Chains A and B, each alone.
Chain A
């Protein structure tokens, strides 16, 4: 088993009301010096067997087709090193 992580973020030019809400809460809690917050999504895909180049290409397709909307979001794919937290 291997884990592949897909991070999805709104493109920089797209307004992120959720991130703004989080950012707005920080000063109220006494946290200073954070100038902006953007909220994204992290997907952890458990993959059967080895993560081959073909498998990785397929996961890119998953990220592009379903996990992100290319009109408003960018994504990054990385393979979690074996023997990680799980």
Chain B
């Protein structure tokens, strides 16, 4: 099983994401934003960071990076794609996911261990979690406020497409405390917190994040 992690100029968490993929038991493949090539991978992670310096809007320029043509095409064919933080912003800008992410309502960068509830454990990236599982992973963002119009939010809720929700105080002003969402098919997931930073006890708040990556492996094995 080969899971690609795209590096954009300004990506920060690509190495951690590749490490998490390896911990989960898959082969991590480094992909480059400037290549029109997915290198034959079975799934893709768009990692966190500040691609293209967050110029214009977070993810707005990355969306047009050469590799994104292939990413969008693969996602539309059902390949598992996980966007973490900046990757989530890129997925929204690419219209693979609805809504947008705006500056935190309290205007401060947030960096903390965050409690979440997994609301949908049927996606390609969450099938290894129990329904309603409460997990703690790292949250670190300046522009993590998820927004969408009321009818889009109602549709996401109604179709069970809210993948994870913040528990406790809302950390960034996300509407309905939404931390992550999925597309209709459940293969594309965008998540503001960082599961790749919670895959071993030594360097993170625990191992609660690992199941995102083992879920993809399981989804691919069952495909």
**A residues bordering B, Cβ < 8 Å?**
10, 13-15, 17-18, 20-21, 66-67, 69, 71-72
| B77 contact set on A, CB distance < 8 A | none
Chain B residues near A72 (CB-CB < 8 A): 100, 102, 147
B184 in contact (CB, < 8 A): no
Closest to A20 in B: B107
Q: A14-B102, A15-B173, A21-B107 are in contact. Are A71 and B64 (CB under 8 A)?
A: no
Residues of A contacting B57 with CB < 8 Å?
69
- A17–B105 CB distance below 8 A: yes
Known contacts A17-B103, A21-B107, then 13 further A-B pairs from the complex at CB < 8 Å, ordered by chain A residue: A15-B102, A17-B104, A17-B105, A17-B107, A18-B103, A18-B107, A66-B60, A69-B100, A71-B98, A71-B100, A71-B147, A71-B148, A72-B102
For the A-B complex, the count of residue pairs with Cβ-Cβ distances under 8 Å equals 36
- Whether A15 pairs with B100 at a CB distance below 8 angstroms is no
The B contact surface, by secondary structure, is loop
B61 CB, nearest partner CB in chain A, Å: 8
Chain B residue contacts of A13, Cβ below 8 A: 149
CB-CB under 8 A for A69 and B103, given A14-B147, A15-B145, A15-B173 = no
In the complex, whether B99 has a CB less than 8 A from a CB of chain A is yes
Cα-based distance from A18 to B103 in the complex (angstroms): 8
17 examples of A-B residue contacts, CB within 8 angstroms: A14-B102, A15-B105, A17-B102, A17-B104, A17-B105, A17-B107, A18-B103, A18-B107, A66-B60, A69-B60, A69-B93, A69-B100, A71-B98, A71-B99, A71-B100, A71-B148, A72-B102
> A20: which B residues are within 8 A, CB to CB?
107
A13 and B147 CA atoms in complex are apart in Å by 10
Q: How far is the CB of B68 from chain A (nearest CB, A)?
A: 13
- Inside 8 A of B148's CB, which chain A residues have their CB? 71
Contacts of A18 in B (CB 8 A): 103, 107
